[in-house]
Amino acid sequence: MALHKLTDASIRSAEKKARDPNAKDRKSILADGGGLHLRIRDNGSSTWFFVIRANGRRREMGLGVYPYVSLAEARTQAANARRAVKEGRDPIKERAAAKEPEASAEVVTFGKFAEDYIKSVEDGWRNEVHRQQWHSSLRDHAAALKNMPIADIATDDVLAVLQPIWLKKAETASRVRGRIEKILDAAKARNLRPRDAMNPASWRGHLALLLPKQPKLARGHHAALPYKEAPAFMVELRKRPALAARCLEFVILTAARSGEALGATWGEIDFAEKIWTVPAGRMKAGAEHVVPLSEAAITLLETLKPERPKPANLIFAVGGAARSNMAMAMLLRRMGRSDLTTHGFRSTLRDWAGDTTNFPRDLIEAALAHTIENKAERAYRRGTAIEQRRALMEAWAAYLSEAAGANVVPFSAAG
């Protein structure tokens, strides 16, 4: 086993190259031998870590920042850690015990800390759907981590969670990885993990080297129904009596995002003026959005409206709880259209309007509540152009009803 491969001069040279994006032979990790490594970031800062391989697991033990921890001191720490491993001891646990000799014996698990973390940040999330997705993704795909001490989670543990879904469910796997990374970073901030240790769920320079390349994710683009197929699709959709079908129909008629529709309350609907006011807190751009409702959308809402609706009650809810976005995804699957996404119907409207109508682009973008950079268009957006957008939404509803007819199936609790 070769030791002492590095010198201070070679480290300084590698740090200089790391700061230069055009430099050749840039390296993110330097090996000194015997398990001692130096990780170099793009800004040129460097941290020592020691790789522990025991019981079929690979873990990293942070040793400090270079040059505050010198090359000689890092080698001494690495030698002590190697000795501990050879003797069957765990140097990471021994160091933690030495730092907190009077600490409570209670072990904080990943599952417990994840719950606490979500509670601490969820007030900043715009809607219930996002909150549900965090809980469900960790429950369904990171269950193996739930009862593990958060201080002990290593790269192999994260890989065991991600590898089964990395290629089969690429987008889900990427989100799960990012959520695990945030939780472990938060644990580090709470001193539940070593501050100088690598996050085992980090992507760049770490998992990117250990996981296969995923099928290309079309970020920002969602599977959309060709607009020529939309009227026939509405025929099939309106045959479905479930609440998820009515929510999807409302999403299509209004060009809304699913989270905006799922959180809609009766108090947001003005039946007299035929408008739906979505509060800023539920909008992606963080600004209130007024949606002119077509006659078809009003008719749909009338079929769902209770005799005395309470303003705070959700429109698309069962037992008072917001429906998960998954309900509409499952509906599409039952219809044999698992190739589509709820969000993609916004693209269907945009393609139809752009290809077959004379409505101006800025009006279409306003209907989609898109954030735009052009100053002239932003000025136009400030005038909400409700009646002009109403004409657009009426034309869209009429197009959708060409084959579908005007009848809406009354809601029942059936699937």
pLDDT digits (tens, 9 = 90+) for 288-329: 888 999 999 999 999 999 888 898 888 887 544 444 567 788
One-character DSSP codes across 299-328: HHHHHH--SS--TTSBSSEETTEEPPHHHH
User: What is the location of CATH 1.10.443.10 in the chain?
Assistant: 227-404
Domain with CATH 3.30.160.390 in the chain: 8-99
CATH 1.10.150.130 domain residues, the chain: 110-209
More confident position, 85 or 25? 85
For position 294, what pLDDT does the model report?
A: 92
From the list 192, 203, 200, 175, the residue with the least C-alpha distance to 117 is 192
CATH fold of 110-209 reads DNA polymerase; domain 1 (1.10.150)
Question: pLDDT at position 100, please?
Answer: 58
The span from the CA of 351 to the CA of 357, in Å, is 10
Secondary structure (3-state) at 209: helix
Q: Give yes or no for residue 219 having a pLDDT over 50.
A: no
Look at domain 8-99 and name its CATH class: alpha beta
User: Quick one: which of 171, 220, 180 has its CA closest to 200?
Assistant: 180
pLDDT at 383 > cutoff 60: no
The CATH number fitting domain 227-404, selected from 3.30.200.20, 3.40.50.720, 1.10.443.10, 3.40.630.40: 1.10.443.10
- pLDDT: is 72 or 104 the higher one? 72
Sign (positive or negative) of CA dihedral 167, 161, 85, 102:
positive
